[in-house]
Amino acid sequence: MKKVIMGNHAVSYGVRASDVKVISAYPITPQTQIVELLSEMCAKGELDAKFIAVESEHSALTACVGASAAGVRTFTATSSQGLLLMHEIIHWAVGARLPIVLVNVNRAVGPPWSIWTDQNDSLSQRDTGWLQIYCESNQETQDTIVQAFKIAETVMLPVMVVLDAFFLSHTFEIVDILEPEQVRPFLPPYKPEFRIDVDTPHAFGNLASPGEYFELRYMIEKAMEKSRSVVRDVDREFEKHFGRGYGVVKPYRCEDAEYVLVTSGTVASTARAVIDQMRDEGIKIGALKIRVFRPFPFEEVYDVLSKAKKVAVIDRNISFGHHGIFYQEVKSALYGRTNVPISGYIAGLGGRDITPKVIREIADKLINDKKPEPGINWIGVKI
Amino acid sequence: MGDKITFKSFKEMPICAMSVADMTYNLTGSWRNVRPYYDYKISPCRLGCPTAENIQRYIFLVMENDFEKAWRTILESNPMPSVTGRVCFHPCMEKCTRKDFDQAINIPAIERSIGDAGLDNPKWMEKKRATKKEKIAVVGGGPAGLSCAFYLARQGYPVTIFESENALGGTLRWGIPEYRLPNVLLDRVIGSILESGPITVKTRAPLGEAVTIESLEKEYAAVFVATGLTRSRPMGVAGEDGPGVQRGLEFLHKVNGGEKAVPGKRVVVVGGGNTAMDVARCARRSGSEVTVVYRRTMNEMPAISDEIEEAEKEGVFFHFLAAPKSITRTGAGPLSVVFQQMKLGEPDESGRRRPVADGDKTFTMEIDTLFTAIGEEGNASPFEKAVEVSGGLIKIKNESGETSNTKIFAGGDVVTGAASVVEAIAAGRKAAERIGRMLSGEPEPVVEEPRTISIENINTAYFTKGKRTMVPRISVEEAVAGYREIFTGYDGDLLRREADRCFSCGVCNYCDNCWVYCPDVAIKRLAEEYEFDYDFCKGCLVCVTECPRSAISTREEGR
Amino acid sequence: MKATPQIPTNELMTSGHLACQGCGATQAMRFALKALGPKTAVVIPACCWAVIDGPFPHSSLKVPIFHTAFEAAASTATGVKAGLEMRGDTETVVMAWAGDGGTFDIGIQALSGAAERNEDIIYCCYDNEAYMNTGIQRSSSTPVGAWTTTTPGDHWKKRPKKKMIDIMAAHSIPYIATASVAYPQDLMAKLRKAREIKGTRFIHIFAPCPTGWKLAPELSVAMARQAVTSKVFPLIEIFDNGKTWTVWKDFEPTPLKDYIKAQGRFRHLTDEEIRGIEEETERSWQYLLSRERPSQNVPGLDAD
Q: Rounded CA gap, A314 and C160, in Å?
A: 57
What pLDDT, in 10s, does the model give residues A235-278? 999 999 999 999 999 999 999 999 999 999 999 999 999 999 99
Rounded to two decimals, what is the model's pTM? Answer: 0.91
Confidence class for position B179, pLDDT limits 50, 70, 90:
very high
Q: Do B16 and A96 touch (CB under 8 A)?
A: yes
Per 3-state DSSP, what percentage of chain B is helix, strand, and coil (rounded to 5)?
35, 20, 45
Backbone angles phi, psi at B347, to 5 degrees: -65, 145
Q: Which residues contact C290 (CB under 8 A, 6 or more apart)?
A: C296
Tell me which of B10, B25, B64, B516 to substitute to probe the interface with C (most C C-beta atoms closer than 10 Å). B516
Q: What is the DSSP pairing of strand B34-38 with strand B136-139?
A: unpaired
What pLDDT, in 10s, does the model give residues B38-57? 999 999 999 999 999 999 99
b/e per residue A339-356 (b: at least 16 CB within 10 A):
ebebbbbbbbbebbebee
Q: Tell which residue, B190, B140, B168, B194, has the closest CA to residue B401.
A: B140
Q: Rounded CA gap, C50 and B519, in Å?
A: 16
CA distance A212 to chain B (A): 8
What pLDDT, in 10s, does the model give residues C213-242? 999 999 999 999 999 999 999 999 999 999
Confidence class for position B559, pLDDT limits 50, 70, 90:
low
Q: Do C84 and A64 touch (CB under 8 A)?
A: no
Q: Do B17 and A204 touch (CB under 8 A)?
A: yes
CA distance B542 to chain A (A): 28
What pLDDT, in 10s, does the model give residues A1-37? 999 999 999 999 999 999 999 999 999 999 999 999 9
Backbone angles phi, psi at B340, to 5 degrees: -85, 130
pLDDT (average), residues B5-33: 96
Confidence class for position C304, pLDDT limits 50, 70, 90:
very low
pLDDT (average), residues B119-140: 96
Q: What is the CA radius of gyration of chain B?
A: 29
Task: Output the pLDDT for position A182.
Answer: 96
H helix intervals, A19-137: 32-44, 57-69, 80-95, 120-123
In angstroms, how far is CA A67 from the centroid of its own chain?
23
A108-112, A370-374, B315-319, B411-415: range with lowest mean pLDDT: A370-374
Query: Which chains have 3+ CB pairs within 8 A of A?
Result: B, C
Q: Which residues of C touch B520 (CB under 8 A)?
A: 15, 17, 19, 26
Q: Is A202 on the interface with C (CB under 8 A)?
A: yes
B445 burial type by CB count under 10 A (0-12 exposed, 13-18 middle, 19+ buried): exposed
Q: Is B356 on the interface with C (CB under 8 A)?
A: no
- Asked whether the predicted pLDDT for residue C298 surpasses 70, the reply is no
Q: Do C79 and A68 touch (CB under 8 A)?
A: yes
Backbone angles phi, psi at C22, to 5 degrees: 70, 25
Judge whether A46 and A15 are in contact, CB under 8 Å.
no
Interhelix angle C184-195/C24-36, rounded to 10 degrees, is 40
Please report, for residues A196, C92, C119, the alpha-carbon distance to residue C87 in angstroms, rounded to integers and kept in the order given.
11, 11, 17
Q: Which chain C residue lies closest to A21 (C-alpha atoms)?
A: C86
Q: Tell which residue, B204, B202, B183, B184, has the closest CA to residue B194.
A: B202
Task: Output the pLDDT for position B330.
Answer: 77
Dihedral over Cα of B507, B513, B515, B520: its sign: negative
Q: How far does chain A reach from its first CA to its final CA, in angstroms? A: 49
Q: Do B17 and A223 touch (CB under 8 A)?
A: no
Q: Rounded CA gap, A243 and A301, in Å?
A: 24
- Asked whether the predicted pLDDT for residue B88 surpasses 90, the reply is yes
Of B6, B9, B18, the CB nearest to A194: B18
What pLDDT, in 10s, does the model give residues B488-534? 999 999 999 999 999 999 999 999 999 999 999 999 999 889 999 99
Query: Which chains have 3+ CB pairs within 8 A of C?
Result: A, B
Dihedral over Cα of A319, A325, A328, A329: its sign: positive
Judge whether A264 and A293 are in contact, CB under 8 Å.
yes
- Maximal C-alpha separation, chain A: 69
Q: Is C6 on the interface with B (CB under 8 A)?
A: yes
Q: Which residues of C touch A62 (CB under 8 A)?
A: 68-69, 72, 75-76, 79, 110
Q: Do B10 and A156 touch (CB under 8 A)?
A: no
Judge whether C212 and C151 are in contact, CB under 8 Å.
no
Percent share of chain B, pLDDT over 70: 100
Judge whether B312 and B476 are in contact, CB under 8 Å.
no
Q: Rounded CA gap, A152 and A130, in Å?
A: 9
Q: Is C19 on the interface with A (CB under 8 A)?
A: no
Q: Tell which residue, B514, B478, A205, A300, has the closest CA to residue C66.
A: A205
Tell me which of C12, C15, C53, C180 to substitute to probe the interface with B (most B C-beta atoms closer than 10 Å). C15
Dihedral over Cα of C75, C78, C84, C86: its sign: negative
Per-chain mean pLDDT for chain C: 95
Task: Output the pLDDT for position B148.
Answer: 98
Judge whether A166 and A47 are in contact, CB under 8 Å.
no
pLDDT (average), residues C105-125: 98
Percent share of chain A, pLDDT over 70: 100
What pLDDT, in 10s, does the model give residues B335-378? 999 999 999 999 888 788 899 999 999 999 999 999 999 988 88
Bridge partners for B207 per DSSP = B211
- Asked whether the predicted pLDDT for residue C300 surpasses 60, the reply is no
What pLDDT, in 10s, does the model give residues B426-462? 999 999 999 999 999 999 999 889 999 999 999 999 9
B330 burial type by CB count under 10 A (0-12 exposed, 13-18 middle, 19+ buried): exposed
Task: Output the pLDDT for position B332.
Answer: 73
Q: Do C218 and B545 touch (CB under 8 A)?
A: yes
Confidence class for position C299, pLDDT limits 50, 70, 90:
low
Confidence class for position C296, pLDDT limits 50, 70, 90:
very low
Query: Which chains have 3+ CB pairs within 8 A of B?
Result: A, C
ipTM: 0.96
What pLDDT, in 10s, does the model give residues C149-192? 999 989 999 999 999 999 999 999 999 999 999 999 999 999 99
Query: Reduced to 3 states, what is the DSSP secondary structure of residue C206?
Result: strand
Confidence class for position C303, pLDDT limits 50, 70, 90:
very low
In angstroms, how far is CA C12 from the centroid of its own chain?
19
Beta strands across the sheet bearing B335-347 = B322-329, B335-347, B353-367
What pLDDT, in 10s, does the model give residues A94-131? 999 999 999 999 999 999 999 999 999 999 999 999 99
Q: Is C51 on the interface with B (CB under 8 A)?
A: no
What pLDDT, in 10s, does the model give residues C18-42? 999 999 999 999 999 999 999 999 9
Q: Rounded CA gap, B58 and B112, in Å?
A: 12
Q: Rounded CA gap, C102 and C127, in Å?
A: 10
Q: Do A70 and C84 touch (CB under 8 A)?
A: yes
Tell me which of C23, C33, C58, C223 to substitute to probe the interface with B (most B C-beta atoms closer than 10 Å). C58
Q: Which amino acid is at C145?
A: G
Please report, for residues A127, A229, B267, C27, C200, the alpha-carbon distance to residue A186 in angstroms, rounded to integers and kept in the order given.
30, 17, 114, 49, 38
Dihedral over Cα of A294, A296, A300, A301: its sign: positive
Q: What is the DSSP pairing of strand B317-320 with strand B289-294?
A: parallel
DSSP class per residue in B501-547: T---TTS-----HHHHH-TT--EEE-SS-EEE-TTT-----HHHHH-
Query: Reduced to 3 states, what is the DSSP secondary structure of residue B145?
Result: helix
Of C16, C22, C27, the CB nearest to B24: C16
Q: Tell which residue, B212, B248, B374, has the closest CA to residue B301.
A: B374
Q: Is A206 on the interface with C (CB under 8 A)?
A: yes
In angstroms, how far is CA C287 from the centroid of its own chain?
20
Task: Output the pLDDT for position B351.
Answer: 82
Q: Rounded CA gap, C148 and C140, in Å?
A: 12
B204 burial type by CB count under 10 A (0-12 exposed, 13-18 middle, 19+ buried): exposed
Q: Do C82 and A198 touch (CB under 8 A)?
A: no
What pLDDT, in 10s, does the model give residues C53-74? 999 999 999 999 999 999 999 9
Task: Output the pLDDT for position A317.
Answer: 98
Of A66, A88, A205, the CB nearest to C79: A66
Of C57, C69, C78, the CB nearest to A52: C78
Give contacts of A 177-206 with B, CB under 8 A.
194, 202-206
Q: Which residues of B touch C205 (CB under 8 A)?
A: none
Q: Kind and range of the H or E element at A286?
A: strand A285-290
Rounded to 10 degrees, the C-alpha dihedral B177/B179/B180/B186 comes to 80
Task: Output the pLDDT for position C1.
Answer: 62
Of C1, C18, C184, the CB nearest to B527: C1
Q: Is A209 on the interface with B (CB under 8 A)?
A: no
Q: Rounded CA gap, A282 and B510, in Å?
A: 98
Q: Is A208 on the interface with C (CB under 8 A)?
A: yes
Q: Is A378 on the interface with B (CB under 8 A)?
A: no
Q: What is the DSSP pairing of strand C244-247 with strand C201-206?
A: unpaired
Bridge partners for B48 per DSSP = none
Backbone angles phi, psi at C233, to 5 degrees: -130, 80
